[in-house]
Amino acid sequence: MTASLRHLSLFGRRHPAIVILLVALALLVQWSAVLIAGGPRTEGERGPWLVLLAAMSSVLIVLLGAALYAVLGHVRDAEQDPPHLMTADVLTGVLNRRGFMGAAGQEFTRSVRYDRPLSFLAVDIDRFKAINDKHGHVAGDSVLKAFALALQGVLRTTDTVGRTGAEAFTVLLPETGATQAIELAQRARQACEAARLDFLPVGQTVTVSVGVASVGTGDSSIEHALSRADNALQRAKSAGRNCVEFG
């Protein structure tokens, strides 16, 4: 179902049911005027007039039926696609990029307004492409799900995990300064390394690299803070992977 069927708008994109209803109402007004002004005046005119009335009524019924069908279809789609699914990553169950950026934006605004600590972790699975190439995408998907669970297992209930790239996750840490964020990053790294990966050969482990950034006075936007976390992540990759760097 396309976005034009999911959202109603009086201007721009329109839901088909609204268009059909407007057409039906316009025809109803026009036909009513015709019928009132042009009703049969003699016995001989009654037959054609009744045929016209039947044809106009049939068209109107078809239009209203199509509108009802479109409305019911929209309701069915809305029930099948709850709002939270639009912000959740289907594979891992954590937030997708859209959902994460929405939550992170709110926390960043609160952090700046009230001068509260806030940190981010940029987490990337090491050599993930090699896993896909050697063991297949099914194994790669299993790795992603396992690491999402491992991350959530060591974080607090106030923290938020989002899958923001193919094998990249970003973690939102409210009320968390640099020291505590680095400690959480190390715990997350260790938990990911220790994750059980039954779908890979015995003894094979998969690691993550982590970049840490805490919001400071120099961060004019959330993008700036996330960029520093990503830069720290790249340094962790360059330092040999499976480590934590602060930016």
Give the pLDDT score at 86. Answer: 84
pLDDT over 60 at 217, yes or no: yes
Give the pLDDT score at 191. Answer: 95
Give the pLDDT score at 210. Answer: 98
pLDDT over 60 at 126, yes or no: yes
Greater confidence (47 vs 135) lies with 135
Give the pLDDT score at 197. Answer: 86
How many whole angstroms separate alpha carbon 240 and alpha carbon 234?
Answer: 10
pTM of the model: 0.67
| 52-110: pLDDT as tens digits | 666 666 666 666 666 666 666 655 555 555 555 589 999 999 999 999 999 999 999 99
Question: If you average pLDDT over every residue of the chain, what do you get?
Answer: 81
Give the pLDDT score at 184. Answer: 97
Give the pLDDT score at 200. Answer: 81
Among 241, 242, 234, smallest CA distance to 211 is for 234
Tell me the two tokens of residue 135. Answer: 């063991």
How many whole angstroms separate alpha carbon 108 and alpha carbon 115?
Answer: 10
Distances (CA, A) of 74 to 42, 90, 172: 48, 22, 35
Give the pLDDT score at 198. Answer: 79
